[in-house]
Each structure stands twice: as structure tokens, then as C-alpha cells.
Structure 1
Amino acid sequence: MTVRTLAAATAVALCLGHTATAQEYNLSLAHWVPATHPLQVLGMEPWMQSITEESGGRITFTVYPAQQLGAAADHYDMARDGIADIAFINPGYQPGRFPILAAAELPFLFANATGAVRGLTEWYQQGGYDDMEMGDVYFCMALTHDPGTMHGKEPILVPEDVRGRTVRPANATEARFVNLLGGASVQVPAPAMREVLSNGTADITQSPWQSLYIFGADTLVTHHLDMPFYASINGFVMNRGMIDGMPEDLRTIMTNHCSPEAAETMSTGWAGAEAAGRASIAADPAHTMHTPNAEQVALWQAAAEPLTAEWLALMASQGRDGEAMLQGLRDALARYDGLYGQ
């Protein structure tokens, strides 16, 4: 073999080697909950395993939990900018940035985290709302926990019990609700709830049940409003360059795992784990559950009505038919038995 032939053969071999490497992907997945959180253990890990198996090992993952790559509120931008290939986000940590999806944050809308999150993902994707406000990433799916509630250092039973208190809300919509009720909001991500409760910055936190244990707040709040109060909307988003640059067969595997059905599957284990936390709290004599009657529930719902009016006004200011959009969301939730009070 001549030197020239050898050089050409080497170049071809290097090119082939590069092509093979380029079609094998180790994707970074960043999130801000502990690695032991049920969302990772029961949701993310089976999801990643399924993708790895279907791709024949050509897609693998490295997980960066507990804000290792950035603060909770920064995860959307991390996926947009390629700091992470996939990120778990809470859009409500960036108030006003994703106003359409914020409709799902309205209180007393979600009955559960399973059928409801399937309906939400379907509504957001099929309506094209994901491209409208998250077009600089690839929106994979919405995720949520079993509906959360308020947990305080003192009893909470009616809206008046929030007046004069300081609350760590779950998202921007709930922060607005707290303000409407005469309370003050201290908006920090869930991993910081223990800190603001322990140092006296907050009297009340919003949280699903098991997360009180996960984030170490269970010893700090001993009074619990026993009703499905809100859903904190989360989601998976992906770096658009990453997903668009994949070969078609691998891209199809990834997008098939980004669907309303995948959203329900991903959220199911998390929802069950959070719901189990309620039983633990209820069995602990150090804690008191406050269950509102029908009249008290009606007080909460009436107090929340201005939030819907504000959202509709915001949509109108953008030239959108908010009534039709919100009805579409309710219909999607009801289609999968996820609408509160249906």
C-alpha cells in the first residue's frame, strides 16, 4: 500500500469512526430534586431505560440531580443554551414567562396527577401552545405531582387564615393567590422550603404531602389543609439542536417518549408516592389535619375566582380567546378523568 493510499484509508477509517460516534448519544438530564426523589426513581429512570433499550444502547443518559448544573429556576434556559440536553423545569419559577401554560396553575383545576397531566400535555402540544411560548426548546411533556395543599405552623381552614401570614407558594399563580388573600408570599423553589420555614421567613408552605418529608419540612409545619388545592406544573424540555440533530430513527424514539401517554406514565409513580405521604402525616399524632366542609370549600373557590379573571384578561390583551383556551384545557382534563369536581 502506498503512502497516499494508506493516508486515504486512514482518513476513511477516521471518518467512519466519527460517524459511528456521532450516532451514539450520552444525554445529560438535569433536575433540581434529590436523586432519591420518586420522580427520578419511579419516573425518570424507567423512561431513560426504555429509551436506551429501544435505541439498542445508542442513547444513554447521565443525570445531574439536586441543582448540580444550575438553580431550579434556570433549568429551562439550561436546556435552551445546551448546558443540559434535557431539563426538568417548573415554569412557575419564572413568573410571566409562560402565560399560556400558567392556566394549569389555577387552583381547583386538577383532580389528580395522572389523567390530568395527560390531558394537559395533549392540550398544550396539540394546540400548538408549546411552540408559541417554548419554541426555543423542544417541549417533551408536562409533569406534575398529586395535588398539593397548604401546610402551616398554625391551623389553616378558610381563606381568612392566610391573612397576615407569610407563605412559600408553589408557583407564581399561587403567589398571586396568597396576595389576594391578604398574605405575603416568599417564592423560593421546593428545595428551599425548609430554610424559609426554619428561619421564620415563612409561616406556611404549599407542597404535596410526601415532599414535606423529602425536603425536611415535616417537623416545621404541623397543621394541614386537607383538600386538593393546586397542581404545580413541571415538565421536560430538550435542547432543540440536540433533538433536531439526531438521526431520524433515534429522533423518533425520543419523540415517541414525549407524549401525553408518557406524561401520565412518568407522573404516576410520583403521584402515588406523594399521596402516600398524606397517610403518614395523618397517622402522626404530632400533626393535625383540617378538612374543610362544603361551605368552606366554596369560600376557597370563590376567593380564587379573580385569578381566572386575570388570566382571561391577560389572554385578551394578547389577542387570544382565553375562554375557548381554558374550556379546551378543562375538556382535555375531563377526557382523562383529571378535572376537579367532575
Structure 2
Amino acid sequence: MKNVLKLSVLASVSLLLAAPSSAQTTLKLSHFLPSVHGIHTDFIVPWTKQVTQCTGGEVQFEIYPGGTQLGNVAKQQEQVLAGVVDIAHGLHGIPRGRFPRTSLIELPFLTRDAGDASETLWELYPEYLAPEYQNLKVLALHAHNGGLIHTSEKKVETMEDMVGLRLRTPSPAISAALTALGATPQGLPPGAVYENIQKHVIDGTVFPWDPVKSFGLNEVLKYHLDAGFYTVPFFFVMNQSKYDSLPANVQTCIDDASGASLVAKFGDWWDKWDAAGRKEAVEANHVITELTDAERKRWRETLQPTIDAYIEQTTEQGVENAREIYERMAELLAEKRQ
């Protein structure tokens, strides 16, 4: 009888060991944009579905967009590092000073194309940018299309028109450029721009077309200068320890959905998102002006000392090869424009 019971127990244990695991992992993912934004609808949600499908449902996601308890733009990196969330999409420039290498791509007139900028960042990441992402699994780096200057009451066509304007700025590099052009930069998160324009605290903002629509800014803006003189980078990162703790098949699914194949999508995505913002402005009979070639040359020449000073400042802050990174960025971006 004892032998029968012993065999029965052993058989039961064997069946348990052989049975497929039904354990399910839920990963928390946060970002700072509204749930109607293309980042959420075209990128984040499909990405999570791809990983879930690839893992056969073993991995599920809880998504926390802007406006939720975990959607603060200034906390995306720290939340991932602290393990409050597992994955986050954030803006390099808020809060300032955390990504000096990556942020060199913000310097004026390097690029105005989201696809080129995103692919350049990803190509530079392993050799030049990786030190900024300690304890993070970098899933993607990307940037937006060239930013415009949007104003509520004053039309901007020339450098002289910039003098005295109070403009929302996304980062130190853009702040330095705006100051050199005669404007007064004001640091604000994207979601605070509408109210501050409405209350005449600021005169306008620098943005690509997309957030103008996403944050309802066409309601308080009237003039748009298509200067295309800067871009801003974003990160999509995962807590490295959390990634390392996942089964190999889950890691593979995350890797397959990320990296170069994901980065390559941002150019078309930004073109789509920007088109909607511009269309809305056109339908509202706003004034849209293109920066002339002659005026663009003036801006470039005026801003060159600011660019050099910013690179030197970055070097002094501990990025000894800041000039090399900037020049490599410029080289790759020039190759992509050909």
C-alpha cells in the first residue's frame, strides 16, 4: 500500500513538473501623452499587443498615459529606475540635464526629419550614447519632425520678429537658441502651454505640428512659422533588472518588437501625426509662413556661436567627446539627406 501511495505521489509530482506554466506576467508601462495621441494609439498600444501575442498571452500590460497617476512627463525615467513602472516612454529634456549626449541632436539646423533623426540616434546609441542609460534596457530612441514657432498674436517671419517673444521651450539647447534669436524662453511641460498662452503668460511655443493638435493649441494660436530648426529626442526604456528576470522567450518577444525595426516606424508616424495638426490650422484659417532660404542662412550664422558654446558647455560637464558626437550626428544626418 505504501509503495502504491509513493508511486501515486511521484506521478503527481511528475505531472506538475511536466505541465506548462500558466503563470502570467503583467508589466506596467507609462508615458506622458494623452490616450488620444498617436504615441498611444499607433505606437504604445500596438507594441504591447505585439508582445502579448508573441508570448501567447504570457505577458500582459497595464498602460498609464498622461493624466494618470504615473503619467507625469518629469518622472518617466525615475519611475523605471525605481521599478514603479517596468517600461516608460519619456522626453529627454524634462527634467533637464540627464541626457547631455543624446540632447546634442536638439541643436539648431541639424535635422528637420523625424525618420532621419530617429535612425541616427539609434545608430549612435551603442558607441556614443549608452553611458546615459545605466540600468535601463533601451527599447528605442526617436525624435520628432522639425519644430515650428507658433504664436498667438504676432506673426514671425524674420529674426527681428523674435525679439521679446516669450516662448515655451522644451530643453536647454532650444532655450539657448531662442535667447540668441532675441526671444525669452519659458520652461513648461507640454500640457501647461494652452493655459499659459490663454492667460498671456507666454506669446507662443516651439513644437512640431503634432502636439499643437494633441493639446488643442490651435484654439489659442494664429501664426505658425515653419522654421524646422530643431528636433527633440524621446526614449522608450525598460528597467534592466526586470528585463533580465523575464524568461528567454519573453525577452526575445520584447527584442523583436523593439530596436531598429521599431525606430524605423517613427518617420512615417510623425508625418501622419503632423499632417493632422497642420490640417486643423489650415481649416482654422491660420497664417502659415515658411522660413525663406535667405532668412534661414541668417539664423544659421547667428546661431553658430550658440551651438559652439553649447557643445563646449557639454564638454565641461563631463562629456569629453561632445564635439565628436555632434559631428558624427551631423555626418550621419547629412548622409541620410542625400
Shift of 1:266: 4.3
Alignment partner, residue 296 of structure 1: 295
TM-score (norm 2): 0.88
Higher mean displacement: 36-45 or 48-57: 48-57
List aligned pairs for 1:193-212, cutoff 5 A.
193-212=193-212
**Partner of 1:127: helix, strand, or coil?**
helix
Alignment partner, residue 268 of structure 1: 268
Alignment partner, residue 139 of structure 1: 138
Alignment partner, residue 311 of structure 1: 310
**Partner of 2:99: helix, strand, or coil?**
coil
List aligned pairs for 1:105-120, cutoff 5 A.
105-120=106-121
What is the CA–CA distance in structure 2 between the aligned matches of 1:15 and 1:67, rounded to whole Å? 44
Shift of 1:76: 0.7
List aligned pairs for 1:6-85, cutoff 5 A.
20-21=22-23, 24-68=24-68, 69-85=70-86
Answer whether contact 2:151 2:203 (CA < 8 A) is retained. Answer: yes
**Partner of 1:92: helix, strand, or coil?**
coil
What is the CA–CA distance in structure 1 between the aligned matches of 2:260 and 2:305, rounded to whole Å? 30
Amino acid at match of 1:238: M
1:213 aligns with 2:222: no
Q: Deviations over 1:242-290 (max 9, x none)?
A: 11111122112212333133112145323312133223323432x1112
Shift of 1:79: 0.9
1:258 aligns with 2:258: yes
Q: Deviations over 1:118-160 (max 9, x none)?
A: 2211212x21522x11213222211222222110021111222
What is the CA–CA distance in structure 2 between the aligned matches of 1:64 and 1:187, rounded to whole Å? 24
Mark the CA change 1:223 to 1:143 in structure 2 (over 3 Å): closer, same or farther. same
Alignment partner, residue 235 of structure 1: 235
Aligned residues: 333
Shift of 1:111: 2.9
Amino acid at match of 2:147: G
Shift of 1:52: 1.7
Shift of 1:4: 10
Mark the CA change 1:289 to 1:28 in structure 2 (over 3 Å): closer, same or farther. same
Unpaired stretches in structure 2, ≥5 consecutive residues: none
Amino acid at match of 1:288: V
Higher mean displacement: 135-144 or 9-18: 9-18
Amino acid at match of 1:106: L
Answer whether contact 2:213 2:276 (CA < 8 A) is retained. Answer: no
* Larger RCO: 1 or 2 (CA < 8 Å, sep 6+): 1
Alignment partner, residue 187 of structure 1: 187
Larger radius of gyration: 2
Unpaired stretches in structure 1, ≥5 consecutive residues: none
TM-score (norm 1): 0.87
Shift of 1:7: 9.7
Answer whether contact 1:156 1:223 (CA < 8 A) is retained. Answer: yes
Alignment partner, residue 147 of structure 2: 148
Shift of 1:181: 2.5
Mark the CA change 1:280 to 1:315 in structure 2 (over 3 Å): closer, same or farther. same
Amino acid at match of 1:218: N
Mark the CA change 1:16 to 1:100 in structure 2 (over 3 Å): closer, same or farther. farther
**What root-mean-square deviation, in Å, do the aligned CA atoms of Structure 1 and Structure 2 show?**
2.7
Answer whether contact 1:118 1:261 (CA < 8 A) is retained. Answer: no
Shift of 1:212: 1.4
Shift of 1:85: 0.9
Answer whether contact 2:148 2:229 (CA < 8 A) is retained. Answer: yes
